[in-house]
Structure formats: C-alpha cells, structure tokens
Structure 1
Amino acid sequence: MNEINLDALVQYVSTFGVKLLVGLLILVVGLKLATILSKRLVASLSKQGRLDEMLVHFFGSLLRYTIIAVTVITVLNQVGVQTASLLAVLASAGLAIGLALQGTLSNIASGVMLIFFRPFRTGQYVEVAGKAGTVKNVSLFTTELATPDNVQIILPNSQVWSGSIINYSYHDTRRVDFLIGISYEDNIDKAFSVINSVIGGEKRIHAKPAPQVVVSELADSSINITVRVWVTSGDYWGVKFDLTKQFKESMDANGLSIPFPQQDVHLIQSA
C-alpha cells in the first residue's frame, strides 16, 4: 500500500514538476516577448510619425500589459489552476478591489482621457493642477512635467484631468505685453516714436496683428504706456527679455525717464 502511494506521489511530483517548468518557461518567454514587441511597436509607430508621441507610448504599454495578462493566464492553466473559477472569484471581489483602488482606477481613467482627447502634447508648456512645466510624458497613471530650471514634477492623472488646463503652446502665436511708465513731464508722442522704433527693429515681431502702443493709465507717479506685440510662441520669452532691455536703453538715450513711485507728504503743525 505504501509502495503504491509512494509511486503515485512520485508520478504526481514528476508530472507537476514538468508542468511547473513549462509554466516558468512560458512566463519567462512571455515577459521577454512583451518587452520586445512593445518596444518594436513604439519604434515602428514613432518612425511613421503619424501618431502623437503620447499615443505611441500608450499603445506600447497597452500591448505589453495585454501580453503579460495572456501569459499569466496561460501559465496558470499550464500548472492546473482553473482560471474560470479564478476569474469568477476576481469578479465577485471586483467591488472591494474597486473601492480599495479607486484612486488608481481614477488615474487610469484620467490617463486614457488625456491620451485620447490630447489637451496637450509632449514638448508643450502647460499649467495643470497648480504646476507649470514642459510636458515630458503622459502614462496611464501619471503626467510628467519639467520646469524651466529642469526640475521633474510628477502629477497623478486624476488631478490633471479634473482641473483647469492652461496650454501656453497650443497656438502658433502669442501676444507679448509690456507696461512702460514715463514721467508726466515727458512728451507722449516722442515716447511712442521711440517705442515704435524699437518694435520696428525686431524681426521676430509679426506684422499682423499689428503692434499696439497706447496710453493705458494716468497713474499716481507715471503715464503708463501699454505695448502689445505678436510673436511665434517659441519666441515669446526671447522677445520679452530682449525688448524689455531695448526699451529701457532707447528711452535713456532719448532723454525719457521712467519715474519711481512718489508720494507727497504734507506736515501740518498744530497751533
């Protein structure tokens, strides 16, 4: 009797051992295949250049996780686990899992919305969830930004999708605004001439819409002149910095002053 049980045990262990080895082999091959095929898909789609980079990486991730899921189910079948029963148990536990992972599921849902509706793309400068930076990557869970001083910011997709999205790079052109104050003793027409001369010498400024130079306010200490010019979005900061410097230098060269805030103080002496 003991010999029969021992033989049965040996036969069972041998059979299960073979199944386990085959299952491990399938798992290793499946994981390797998932990585290789996802990378090849990303490379192929990127080479064609028809899809946005965010969509390319999304399809790559989708293919990878699909292959991994199929591999895991195949391995479980190989070692004798009844996957139909397992799926039924997982389905019955779906509500509890959903409640426990509602934050994660929300990030995935938001990631899908961001990828397919594409309110912004990789390389664009945006402001989302109170943070601003250049979009580096959008995955199923997070959005990665880089600030102008190259600091990495990683935001949950649910925060990005649920709030306001300001995309500074969406349009091809942007308006650059300047506020220049001159003294009440200065000649306004002369100031206009100096400002227009600086604008005319800057080739990055667009002719249409035409630049605008107007008196916007008679302030306490200065006459404020608002200057508005249109540039290509990528030239925004370069024009902003360069013209700020040129306006100051040109005004100094033409005897126009930029007054400091002033207050008149009257001392009243009581008798």
Structure 2
Amino acid sequence: MEPQQPDVILATRTALSQASALAVQYSFSIVGALVLLCAGWLIARLLHNWAYAGLKRVHGIDETLARFFSNIIRYALLVLVFVTVLGQFGVQTASIIAALGAAGLAIGLALQGTLQNIAAGIMLLVLRPFRVGESIETSSVAGTIREIGLFATELVDSDGVYRLAPNSTLWNTPVRNFSRLPTRKHDLTISIPADQDIDEAMQKLLDIARGNDTVLKTPAPSVFIAELSGDDATVTLRYWVSTPNWWATTRSMLKRVKDEFAVKPEPEAPRDEDRGDGPGPFDA
C-alpha cells in the first residue's frame, strides 16, 4: 500500500494544477461574460424604453403595437448578447444560430394561424379601419368594438352579447363602419293612395323633417316619388342626421309620419347599413 501513496499525491497535485490553470484561463472569460451580460441587459432595456417612447409619438401607432415592437427589439438584443457570451467560452455559435433558425421555422409553421392573426392585428392597429367604441359590420360579425388586440378583437353586438373575432377574419373581409363619418342618411318611404293629394303629402313630409331639430339643414331634406303602382305612388323622404343621433331620430321620424298620415309606413327592407344599430348596452 505504501508505494501507491506517491502516485495518489502526484495525481492530486496534477489535478489541482490543471484546475488552477483552467480557472486562470477562464477567469477573464467569465468576468467578460458577466460584464457583457450586464451591459447587454442595460442596453436592451434602454433601447426598449427609447423605442416605446418613439413609437408612442408616431401618429396612428396604437399602444399595444408600440409595446409589441419595443419588446421584439429588447428580446432580439438579449438573444444576441446570449449568443455572444457563449462565443466567449469557445462554443460554436454558428450551430446555435442555425438551431434557433430551425426552431423559429418550426414554431412558425406550427403557429401559422396565430401568426396570421398577429399580422392582421398589426395591420388593423396601424391602418385603423375601426377604433374602440365604433360600430362595425362584416360578413361574419357585427357590433361595437370593445378592444383590439394582437390576436383577436372583442365586440358587443346589439343584443348585448360578447363576441371575440380573430383578427384575420376582420382584416380579410370588407368592413362597414357606421360610426366613422359624422353624418348618416336615412330614407323613409310611404305609400300615398290615389285619393290623396301627392303634392300636399310631399310638403307634409318636408315639414316634418324641417321641424325636427336633429335633422340636418345641410344637406337639406328632400322628397321624391320613388315608385308608381297603378294610381298609388310611393314617396321617399331623404334626410341626413348626425351619426350619434341617427337611431333616435329615425325612430322618432317614423312615429311622426305614422301619426301625421294615419297610415302605417311601408316596412323597410333590411339593409346592411341598419344592422348593428339597435338599442343595446353600447348605445348611450
């Protein structure tokens, strides 16, 4: 047993000397990596705040979009710093970058629908075809906008029902915005029997429109014969109303015409522009 002790001591000394050599060799790399990590984290945070503040000042950029792009800048810089730190220790960063690219491609293919909604959400936030509080209608959904997110848009319909629409369905279809423009038109149509004076009836309709304070004077209300059916005539009263007063004014005008002529106005065919405007929790 005694001849083995010098070998053990020699092996221990050799291991300690190698460990100290490695510690000296990598100490500078470790210190440099720590400095690089701290500096990278600080610069990434500063760039994040700078990008967010700059995007907030750009007209038409939503806060959600500003946060999204500023976070992308921050995390992209942190990934770059991490790869650079690994290079300090002799790690082949080319293979890491290739692996990250392959992983990003696989994630992109797996989340193709989600990424499509994100891209559509970015376009909706930049171009703003509708804003929070506006009433819209598409081929698949109608209601008042409650929130526009990166993945989906929240709405409340005229029945007070909550709806969640993926952004891709709103971006890839025509959108009718009932709240964007300041004024809206309304056509009120009634039938005038042959035994009534049509000129007098048309004048009554004009007087009703002009006597309503919420009916706009410009463009001025107009009355015209829309259709003839035998001896009867179908007359249309066309007038314009400010968008916030459209619903209340059109309902009150129907009642006034009904009371004045003592006849029931012809039911209007459902039109796209009238959908989504019924009284609901979002009609103030």
For the aligned pair, the TM-score class normalised by the smaller chain equals 0.5 to 0.7
| Cα distance in structure 2, aligned partners of 1:40 and 1:148 | 37
| Cα distance in structure 2, aligned partners of 1:126 and 1:144 | 12
Residue identity opposite 2:98 in structure 1: A
The structure 2 residue matched to 1:138, chosen from 133, 143, 148, is 148
The structure 2 residue matched to 1:213, chosen from 223, 237, 248, is 223
The structure 2 residue matched to 1:169, chosen from 171, 179, 191, is 179
Q: Secondary structure at the match of 2:209?
A: helix
1:183–1:259 CA contact under 8 A, matched in 2: no
In the TM superposition, what is the alpha-carbon distance from 1:162 to its structure 2 partner? 1.0
Are residue 189 (structure 1) and residue 199 (structure 2) matched?
A: yes
Aligned equivalent of 2:69: 62
In the TM superposition, what is the alpha-carbon distance from 1:241 to its structure 2 partner? 1.0
Aligned equivalent of 2:26: none
| Cα distance in structure 1, aligned partners of 2:181 and 2:71 | 34
Question: Kindly tell me: are residues 41 and 82 of structure 1, through their superposed partners in 2, closer, same or farther at Cα, counting changes over 3 Å?
Answer: farther
1:169–1:233 CA contact under 8 A, matched in 2: yes
Aligned equivalent of 1:257: 263
1:175–1:231 CA contact under 8 A, matched in 2: yes
Bigger drift between 64-73 and 195-204 goes to 64-73
Aligned equivalent of 1:26: none
Residue-by-residue CA offset, 1:70-123 (whole Å, 9 max, x unaligned): 567767988999876443212134443332222112112212222222222222
| Cα distance in structure 1, aligned partners of 2:265 and 2:183 | 33
Q: Secondary structure at the match of 2:117?
A: helix
Question: Kindly tell me: are residues 52 and 235 of structure 1, through their superposed partners in 2, closer, same or farther at Cα, counting changes over 3 Å?
Answer: farther
Q: Secondary structure at the match of 1:159?
A: helix
Unaligned runs of 5+ in 1: 12-28, 262-271
Unaligned runs of 5+ in 2: 1-10, 24-41, 268-284
In the TM superposition, what is the alpha-carbon distance from 1:223 to its structure 2 partner? 3.0
In the TM superposition, what is the alpha-carbon distance from 1:152 to its structure 2 partner? 2.1
Q: Secondary structure at the match of 2:216?
A: coil
Aligned equivalent of 1:18: none
In the TM superposition, what is the alpha-carbon distance from 1:151 to its structure 2 partner? 2.2
1:52–1:121 CA contact under 8 A, matched in 2: no
Which is higher, the Rg of structure 1 or of structure 2? 2
| Cα distance in structure 2, aligned partners of 1:217 and 1:68 | 66
| Cα distance in structure 1, aligned partners of 2:242 and 2:123 | 29
Bigger drift between 76-85 and 204-213 goes to 76-85
Residue identity opposite 1:257 in structure 2: V
* Sequence identity percentage: 34
| Cα distance in structure 2, aligned partners of 1:38 and 1:133 | 34
| Cα distance in structure 1, aligned partners of 2:153 and 2:266 | 44
Correspondence list, 1:227-238, <5 A: 227-238=237-248
Q: Secondary structure at the match of 1:123?
A: coil
Question: Kindly tell me: are residues 235 and 83 of structure 1, through their superposed partners in 2, closer, same or farther at Cα, counting changes over 3 Å?
Answer: farther
2:254–2:265 CA contact under 8 A, matched in 1: no
Question: Kindly tell me: are residues 82 and 186 of structure 1, through their superposed partners in 2, closer, same or farther at Cα, counting changes over 3 Å?
Answer: farther
Are residue 117 (structure 1) and residue 127 (structure 2) matched?
A: yes
Are residue 154 (structure 1) and residue 164 (structure 2) matched?
A: yes
1:182–1:258 CA contact under 8 A, matched in 2: no
Residue identity opposite 1:225 in structure 2: V
Residue-by-residue CA offset, 1:199-235 (whole Å, 9 max, x unaligned): 1111111122221111212347953221110111111
Residue-by-residue CA offset, 1:43-80 (whole Å, 9 max, x unaligned): x86xxxx84584x2221333345445656776798899
Question: Kindly tell me: are residues 144 and 77 of structure 1, through their superposed partners in 2, closer, same or farther at Cα, counting changes over 3 Å?
Answer: farther
| Cα distance in structure 2, aligned partners of 1:181 and 1:160 | 40
In the TM superposition, what is the alpha-carbon distance from 1:164 to its structure 2 partner? 1.0
Are residue 102 (structure 1) and residue 106 (structure 2) matched?
A: no
Q: Secondary structure at the match of 1:61?
A: helix
Root-mean-square deviation over aligned CA pairs: 4.3
| Cα distance in structure 1, aligned partners of 2:67 and 2:139 | 27
Question: Kindly tell me: are residues 105 and 216 of structure 1, through their superposed partners in 2, closer, same or farther at Cα, counting changes over 3 Å?
Answer: same
Residue identity opposite 2:70 in structure 1: L
Residue identity opposite 1:150 in structure 2: G
Bigger drift between 222-231 and 94-103 goes to 94-103
